[in-house]
């Protein structure tokens, strides 16, 4: 941020130039927005779920009309052309799905009857949305992770204040243009700009916070939310393991692992970052891995067909390089890659390391780059112990042609999602609930129907059908 004003300069990941800026919105601005959101939510929260679903459908239509400009802005944010337009298309789908399912989620929630404990008391549950939900999102999948919590919060009947990452804010303007075509959502989905100061103001002004980002910031957000006594749903970092058993189909395992670890330049929370391979197939696996890696190209060399885009966040290269250098210093061998290329933007080539150990940072801390460290195991129990030897617990993968064995291994992994014979499936399957384990997160599932119901509090309406008991109930007589 420039010291004299409240603007934040934004870097272009392809050129490396600072060619865009946003303002850091102040806490008084956020407070004012929250006041309006709170007022608007009163009518929104009492609409029927069907009507809210219909209005989300209108937003999907408007979004679709603006999808090209949103995708274009997103590609300037991330340096990813094709995926940015896919990200916009997936967002339309998410909007349509919540719009279509909103009514049925509430139908399924209905619960009433007689108390088993006191049968004369009849109960009915009423579901009360949190008035204003704060959403704070990261830079790695900027649009999707901004809206993945915001849309179900709106469907639940809440208003939202969304603060996307200050690293990738270009998509906000075209998104607001789409939103402007749905007057029914005025003051209900409020998109604000800024960095940590604005993020903290969002926590100060809302009733529940959804945060996606690093563990370090997540800990601050959780402490801040606790000081206000509001819930925090945290989706944090990972260090996902893959276990490749001796009976795995090597070619397909390599394909899935490369897509997860190297695709998106390794900049996703559920990227595989630790690969454990049976010693029986290690050499064959390594040969196939290097064969497939050698076919990949960087988008700085081939802008129209390259596979690996630039690092979005320039400082990430320091984290990646320091972990690689430390590993090499301790005896790791670099089989491919290992050094960044500065071409205006920064590209990190697919990197394969072996002779790594759990003493190295590359096996202990989140890397968030296109790195594949390999470790050989001799027994599946050893592989499970290695996979669980981490402070993270996001997700993991198991490769074996014996599906029962793979499921048994998966059941022992201390993570919230296990992909069998593929990788990072939780990144594409949004309708299946899961929780994050250990430092990877806290709170209800953002996936599946819980993605909406976590924004609802239950109020019990209790009707006495008999005469009320007298104070003699407490008498010593």
Give contact residues for ligand NAD (rule: CB under 6 A): 136-140, 145, 163, 165-166, 195-196, 199-200, 203, 212-214, 217, 220-221, 235-238, 269, 366, 368, 394, 441
DSSP label of 5 = S
Task: Name the residue nearer to ligand NAD (CB basis): 311 or 409.
Answer: 311
Q: CB 203 → ligand NAD: shortest distance, Å?
A: 6
Nearest-approach distance from CB 136 to ligand NAD, in angstroms: 5
- Which residue's CB is nearer to ligand NAD, number 199 or number 370? 199
Q: Is 235 a catalytic residue?
A: yes
Task: Please list the residues that pair with 125 across neighbouring strands.
Answer: 460
Min dist. Cβ of residue 425 to ligand NAD (A): 14
Out of 102, 210, 245, 269, the active site residue is 269
Cβ of residue 89: shortest distance to ligand NAD, in angstroms? 19
User: Which lies closer to ligand NAD via its Cβ, residue 136 or residue 406?
Assistant: 136
Q: Which is nearer to ligand NAD, 191 or 250 (CB)?
A: 191
175: buried, middle or exposed (CB in 10 Å: 19+, 13-18, 0-12)? buried
Q: Sheet harboring 240-244: ordered strands across? A: 333-336, 351-354, 371-377, 272-278, 240-244, 395-399, 417-420
* Residue 298 DSSP symbol: B
Do 265 and 296 meet the contact criterion of CB atoms below 8 Å apart?
A: no
Q: Which is nearer to ligand NAD, 198 or 400 (CB)?
A: 198
CB-closest chain residue to ligand NAD: 199
Least distance between ligand NAD and beta carbon 3 (Å): 18
Give Cα separations from 59 to 152, 160, 451 (angstroms). 13, 15, 19
Instruction: Using DSSP, state whether 88 is helix, strand or coil.
Output: helix
Q: Which of 230, 218, 225 is nearest to 439 (CA)?
A: 218
One-letter-per-residue 3-state SS of 94-161: HHHHHHHHHHHHHHHHCCEEECCCCCCEEEEEEEEECCEEEEECCCCCHHHHHHHHHHHHHHHCCEEE
Complex with ligand NAD: residue 145 or 248, whichever CB lies closer: 145
Give the DSSP H/E element, type plus range, for residue 420: strand 417-420
Are residues 384 and 412 in contact, defined by beta-carbon separation less than 8 angstroms? yes
**Is 29 among the catalytic positions?**
no
Residue 401 in contact with residue 278, Cβ under 8 Å?
no
The distance of closest approach from Cβ of residue 46 to ligand NAD in the complex, given in angstroms and rounded to an integer, is 31
Task: Specify the residue, 137 or 278, whose C-beta has the smaller distance to ligand NAD.
Answer: 137
Q: How far is the CB of 159 from ligand NAD (least distance, A)?
A: 19
Q: How many CA atoms lie within 13 A of 167 on its CB side?
A: 19
Distance of CA 111 to the CA centre of its chain: 31
Question: Which of these is catalytic: 235, 273, 366, 380?
Answer: 235
Beta carbons within 8 Å of 169's beta carbon, 6+ residues apart = 10, 20, 22, 77, 142, 193
Give me the active site residues, please.
Answer: 235, 269
């Amino acid at each position: 941020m420039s010291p004299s004003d409240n603007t934040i300069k934004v870097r272009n990941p392809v050129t490396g130039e600072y060619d865009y800026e946003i303002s850091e919105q102040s806490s008084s601005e956020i407070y004012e927005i929250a006041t309006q959101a709170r007022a608007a939510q009163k009518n929104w929260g009492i609409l029927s779920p069907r009507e809210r679903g219909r209005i989300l459908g209108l937003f999907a239509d408007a979004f679709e009309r603006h999808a090209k400009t949103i995708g274009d802005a997103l590609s300037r944010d991330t340096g990813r052309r094709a995926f940015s337009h896919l990200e916009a298309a997936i967002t339309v789908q998410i909007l349509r799905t919540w719009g279509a399912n909103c009514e049925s989620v509430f139908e399924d929630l209905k619960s009433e009857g007689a108390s088993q404990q006191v049968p004369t008391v009849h109960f009915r549950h009423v579901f009360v949305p949190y008035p204003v939900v704060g959403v704070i999102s990261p830079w790695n999948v900027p649009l999707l992770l901004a809206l993945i919590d915001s849309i179900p919060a709106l469907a639940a009947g809440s208003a939202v204040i969304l603060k996307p990452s200050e690293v990738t804010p270009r998509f906000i303007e075209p998104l607001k243009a789409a939103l402007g075509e749905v007057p029914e959502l005025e003051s209900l989905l409020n998109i604000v700009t800024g960095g940590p100061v604005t993020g903290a103001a969002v926590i100060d002004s809302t009733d529940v916070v959804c945060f996606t980002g690093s563990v370090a910031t997540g800990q601050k957000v959780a402490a801040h939310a606790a000081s206000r006594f509001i819930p925090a749903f945290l989706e944090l970092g990972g260090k996902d393991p893959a276990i490749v058993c001796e009976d795995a189909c090597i070619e397909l395992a390599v394909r899935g692992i490369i897509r997860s670890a190297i695709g998106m330049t390794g900049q996703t929370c559920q990227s595989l970052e630790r690969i454990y391979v049976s010693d029986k197939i290690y050499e064959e696996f390594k040969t196939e891995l290097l064969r497939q890696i050698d076919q990949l190209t960087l988008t700085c060399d081939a802008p129209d067909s390259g596979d690996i885009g630039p690092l979005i966040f320039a400082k990430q290269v320091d984290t990646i390089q320091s972990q690689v250098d430390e590993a090499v210093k301790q005896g790791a061998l670099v089989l491919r890659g290992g050094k960044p290329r500065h071409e205006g933007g920064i590209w990190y080539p697919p990197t394969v390391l072996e002779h790594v150990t759990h003493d190295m940072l590359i096996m202990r801390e989140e890397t968030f780059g296109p790195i594949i460290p390999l470790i050989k195991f001799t027994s599946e129990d050893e592989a499970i112990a290695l996979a669980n030897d981490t402070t993270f617990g996001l997700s993991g993968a198991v490769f074996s042609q014996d599906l029962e064995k793979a499921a048994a291994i998966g059941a022992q992994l201390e993570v919230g999602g296990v992909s069998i014979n593929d990788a990072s499936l939780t990144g594409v399957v949004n309708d299946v609930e899961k929780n994050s384990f250990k430092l990877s997160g806290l709170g209800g599932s953002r996936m599946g129907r819980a993605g909406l119901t976590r924004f609802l509090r239950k109020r019990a309406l209790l009707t006495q059908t008999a005469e009320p008991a007298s104070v003699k109930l407490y008498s010593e007589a």
